[in-house]
Amino acid sequence: MQGIEQPGGYAVGWFTLALINAGLAQGKNRSGGAWFLISVLLGPIATFLIVVLPRPE
């Protein structure tokens, strides 16, 4: 049936994005746990920040 969304669908997607962002952050030598929490709050904006910020030295 079209037009019927499952409850919590957005939450599952948001959580999945946060997990992906944690992996991306660890790949750039950043704290995966901290970026997971940031991603829960900011979502796609956190993804953008992880990608554009330079790798820490």
Q: How far is CA 10 from CA 6, 14, 29, 36, in A?
A: 9, 6, 29, 17
| Residue 2 in this model has a pLDDT that exceeds 70 | no
Domain parsing of the chain, residue ranges: 12-50
pLDDT in tens, 24-56: 999 999 999 999 999 999 999 999 999 999 988
**pTM assigned to the model:** 0.81
Which tokens sit at 24? 């991306």
User: Residue 11 — pLDDT band, cuts 50, 70, 90?
Assistant: confident
